[in-house]
Amino acid sequence: MRTGTSKDTSLEALRGLAALNVVAGHFLLTFFPYLGNYLWNSRTITQRVVSQRFEFESWLGAAPFTILFNGTFPVCIFFVLSGYVLSWKFIEQGDHAYLRASALKRFPRLVAPVFASVLFAWALLTLGFMRTTEAAAIGAASFLSEAYNQPVSLLSALWIGAIGAPLLGQTTINVPLWTIKIELLGSFYCLQSMQCPVARALCSPWRRFLYCSSGSSLAQRTSYSFQALSPAACYII
């Protein structure tokens, strides 16, 4: 459903739920690393064999509760939504000026919050508020002992926020930003694909499937098993 501001509120709600899912997944896998056994090989996610510490971890690892910490699916939702949102207006109106304007705005729109998050992480690290080593020592995922424990200069942080993370995939002081490179470059691919004459000639339902597929291609180099389902899921929406 679109409001007077042309925003689709149903997609906004879906994006919000996916964001909460990612936050829950990061929290649970970090502080209850045993749950990683239900998603990946335990040595891959935790760097060691993890023993169960709490009784609830066994039933939390059973369906449907696994969706609380399976962050791969909501990340794929983000990618597909990007393809949908970027493309629907052009598909409906055929305005090439919209594609050019979207391409010009895409970099600053994505990089601004990335830049702010990197500077915030740098400030926490510089002030000594990154307690990852201590967290690992009390039972959190062991990978924390190697995360955010090396000093980073302000110049390096500025580079990572403006160029390194969005264009090169550098995530030294904000690991979740690995998605930004895929999001940014995939967005340009999606906008460019709309210029294809074949795409514009297709009937409406097939157009919808095509640009949703373009959205799923944002995750083209990931190992997500949900990637193949993404176009169909977004088509239903």
Looking at residues 72-77, what average pLDDT do you find? 86
Residue 85 structure tokens: 């949102």
Q: Which residue has the higher pLDDT, 37 or 100?
A: 100
pLDDT tens digits along 61-70: 777 888 888 8
Q: Which residue has the higher pLDDT, 97 or 6?
A: 97
Same domain, 57 and 80: no
Same domain, 159 and 98: yes
Q: How far is the C-alpha of 94 from the C-alpha of 108, rounded, in Å?
A: 24
Is residue 207 very low, low, confident or very high in pLDDT (cuts 50, 70, 90)?
low
Percent of the chain residues past pLDDT 90, beyond the cut = 24
Same domain, 133 and 209: yes
DSSP state of 221: T
Same domain, 117 and 29: no
The domain containing residue 36 runs over which residues? 1-70
pLDDT tens digits along 143-199: 787 788 889 999 999 999 999 999 999 998 998 898 899 889 888 888 887 776 665
The domain boundary residue, chosen from 51, 70, 89: 70
CA distances in angstroms from 212 to 84, 85, 195, listed in the order given: 6, 9, 15
Task: Evaluate whether 118 touches 174 at the Cβ level (below 8 Å).
Answer: yes
Q: How high is the pLDDT of residue 58?
A: 82
The domain boundary residue, chosen from 70, 87, 114: 70
Q: How high is the pLDDT of residue 235?
A: 34
CA distances in angstroms from 105 to 11, 95, 99, 143, 160, listed in the order given: 21, 16, 10, 36, 20
Domain count, the chain: 2
Same domain, 114 and 211: yes
What is the H or E stretch that residue 107 is in? helix 96-126
Same domain, 136 and 229: yes
What is the H or E stretch that residue 97 is in? helix 96-126
Is residue 141 very low, low, confident or very high in pLDDT (cuts 50, 70, 90)?
confident
pLDDT tens digits along 87-136: 888 877 778 888 889 889 999 999 999 999 999 999 999 998 988 888 87
Residue 178's DSSP bridge partners are: none
Same domain, 125 and 230: yes
Q: How far is the C-alpha of 54 from the C-alpha of 114, rounded, in Å?
A: 36
The domain boundary residue, chosen from 70, 91, 121: 70
Same domain, 60 and 97: no
List helix spans (H) across 163-229: 178-193, 197-201, 204-216
Q: How far is the C-alpha of 206 from the C-alpha of 108, rounded, in Å?
A: 31
pTM: 0.75
Same domain, 117 and 223: yes
Same domain, 116 and 145: yes
Instruction: For 172, list phi and psi in degrees, rounded to 5.
Output: -55, -45
